[in-house]
Amino acid sequence: MTGLAHVRSDFPLLEREINGHRLVYLDSAATTQKPAQVIDAIDDYYRRINANVHRGAYTLAVEATDAYEGGRAKVADFIGAASPNEVVFTRGTTTALNFIAYGWGLSHLSEGDKVVLTIMEHHSNVVPWQLIARHTGCELVYLSLDDDYEVDVADLDRIIDDRVKVIAVSGMSNVTGAMGPVQVLSAAARRVGAIVVVDGAQLVPHSPTDVADLGADFLAFSAHKMLGPTGIGVLWGRPDLLEEMEPTEGGGEMISDVQLYESRWAPVPHKFEAGTPPIAQAVGFGAAVDYLAKIGMHEVQDHERAITEYALAELATVPDLTVYGPRDVSRRGGAVSFQLADIHAHDIATILDQYGVAVRAGHHCAKPLMRHLNVPATARASFYIYNTNEDVDALVAALHESRKVFGLA
Amino acid sequence: MTPLDELYRQTILDHYRNPRRRGALNGPHVHAEGENPSCGDEFFLDLATEDGVVTDVAIGGQGCSISQASGSMMADVIVGKTLDEVRDLARKFKVMMSIEEGDNPVDPERPGSVLGELEALQGVRKFPVRIKCADLAWTTLEDALGQL
């Protein structure tokens, strides 16, 4: 058994059987399962506290506000933010990245400016910038990958010139597991006065994150990929940038005064939180980071590296199997994409499901990367704290069965 | 047979690995393209007709074994048929693939008697999320027929 095997019993869903087999859940890069501690926190909030937040003079409203803002304080602490005010709650990573692109990009970018991305980005860190390019006339420039699936920074000095205003990079690829070179890009950005936006959807759940030394000016991530509920995520920003950034959504909760033709915004972070916020989700998110902090993110990372190392070694024993991602587990996370012989990823996912093994198949919202890898789709196994080497064994056994189904063994 | 054996029959794997009529038509034809955005499967179809009869077909695209085998089997079977026969076949195929039991036009006592080789795709019915894979080529065919 691997290091964190004891946590499995905290996850009620992992007790399910699928198609007569023990569930082997290997899709945590898409969303993680939830521990009872998170489910109970949300349940307790709705049973005892539920009310709308802010401006309520009655006891429940005060308690609900404390619960919501308490979730923010926990998340801020988890990422080393200097103040909870640096943490804006959004619907998730995608909304956070759109808020950055629209709220900062629209007012700071114009024709002739460049936004630098990498070809391993998730669509959520590509399409918002395409939309902003359409509005402002700025140019998108892509960094490619080297032979080990890592962002190629060899030519950085030539690419990062004075016209670059934004460098937006994934902290960890949801396809290859490769970690983005945030520190290197951050140093290059400092030289030319550009800002660094980090898509932390995979990074924050799987790696100790301290915004003080990450090198990012903005960081986006989602609760549901780190044991928390769906419907809530974070936009963290440097305080001065959040101050100068425009709100993307207007409505209740985000103003300090509204007149007929103009309004003044509420202070950060509330000026970015229009409408009734995801209150129960913030409570669940707080419980999720409490749970992770109790284990310790270094332990989480060590566990994932051990299981990924085991998985890469075991997958190498399956004939005709190609893994797309770095071999060095110290430079990657636990998302392992692969192709098996001429079996399409969807067929692999269907066959594996018959053995209770849940993997994702498709383009993983990273079509530019799929084109670079020259594959239409990959199958992807991804690991988290509750996975064990036995889960890897079940995956490998089911892959051998897949070869049999397709007449290859 | 296990559900997997029923899904991945030899006929299907053969059509997946050796798709029939792949390519493009040179003469007059209609062209249709279909895709399943959720999974990225693509299917292209060139369809040539003369006097209400399908005279030639060429297919292309990429995707899972079910989507590509279904397209290959379709290309194989519709050449030489009248447009009415093709429309009837497409309708029967889609009914066969719908998961409402009872509507299935296939005769379990006489396998292959109604839809021939296409009946090999019935195993997909046990995998509802994959039905759209089997239907892709036929939806694309209906698009092409609509252009005539």
pLDDT bin (cut points 50, 70, 90) of residue B73 is very high
Q: State whether B2 and A354 contact (CB < 8 Å).
A: yes
The average pLDDT across B113-122 equals 89
Q: How far is the alpha carbon of A404 from chain B, nearest alpha carbon, in Å?
A: 10
Q: In this model, does residue B99 exceed pLDDT 80?
A: no
Q: How far is the alpha carbon of A406 from chain B, nearest alpha carbon, in Å?
A: 7
Q: In this model, does residue A42 exceed pLDDT 90?
A: yes
Q: In this model, does residue A298 exceed pLDDT 70?
A: yes
Calpha distance B117→B133 (Å, rounded): 17
Q: In this model, does residue B101 exceed pLDDT 80?
A: no
Q: Which of B5, B17, B40 sits opposite A363 (nearest CB)?
A: B40
For strands B30-36 and B41-50, give the pairing: antiparallel
A359-408 pLDDT per residue, tens: 999 999 999 999 999 998 999 999 999 999 999 999 999 999 999 999 99
* Residue A30 located in a structural domain: no
Mean pLDDT in chain B?
92
Q: How far is the alpha carbon of A327 from chain B, nearest alpha carbon, in Å?
A: 27
Short-list A97, A87, A31, A68, CA closest to A230: A31
* Residue A349 located in a structural domain: yes
Q: Does B62 touch chain A (CB under 8 A)?
A: yes
The average pLDDT across A89-113 equals 98
pLDDT bin (cut points 50, 70, 90) of residue B1 is confident
**Domain C-terminal end among A258, A293, A328:** A293
Q: State whether A351 and B127 contact (CB < 8 Å).
A: no
Q: State whether B4 and A361 contact (CB < 8 Å).
A: no
Q: In this model, does residue B134 exceed pLDDT 80?
A: yes
Active site residue A138: no
**Total tally of structural domains belonging to chain B:** 1
* Residue A31 located in a structural domain: no
A223: domain CATH number is 3.40.640.10
A176-187: burial string, b at 16+ Cβ within 10 Å, e else: bbbbbbbeebbe
Calpha distance A347→A356 (Å, rounded): 14
Short-list A339, A408, A329, CA closest to A380: A339
Residues in chain A whose beta carbon is closer than 8 A to a beta carbon of chain B?
342-347, 350-351, 354, 361-363, 376-377, 405-407
Q: In this model, does residue B103 exceed pLDDT 80?
A: no
Cα-Cα-Cα-Cα torsion A117, A119, A123, A128, nearest 10 degrees, comes to 20
Q: What is the CA radius of gyration of chain B?
A: 14
Which position has the higher pLDDT, A301 or A376? Answer: A301
Please give the pLDDT value at position A3.
65
Do A77 and A116 lie in one domain? The reply is yes
Please give the pLDDT value at position B106.
84
Q: Which of B2, B8, B64 sits opposite A346 (nearest CB)?
A: B64
The average pLDDT across B39-49 equals 93
**Total tally of structural domains belonging to chain A:** 2
The average pLDDT across B111-121 equals 87
Please give the pLDDT value at position A1.
45
Which position has the higher pLDDT, B98 or A74? Answer: A74
* Residue A34 located in a structural domain: no
Which of these is catalytic: A24, A357, A365, A370?
Answer: A365
Please give the pLDDT value at position B81.
96
Q: Does B64 touch chain A (CB under 8 A)?
A: yes
A362: domain CATH number is 3.90.1150.10
Percent of chain A scoring above 90 in pLDDT: 97
A259: containing domain = 39-293
pLDDT bin (cut points 50, 70, 90) of residue A145 is very high
Q: In this model, does residue A135 exceed pLDDT 90?
A: yes
Mean pLDDT in chain A?
96
B53: containing domain = 3-146
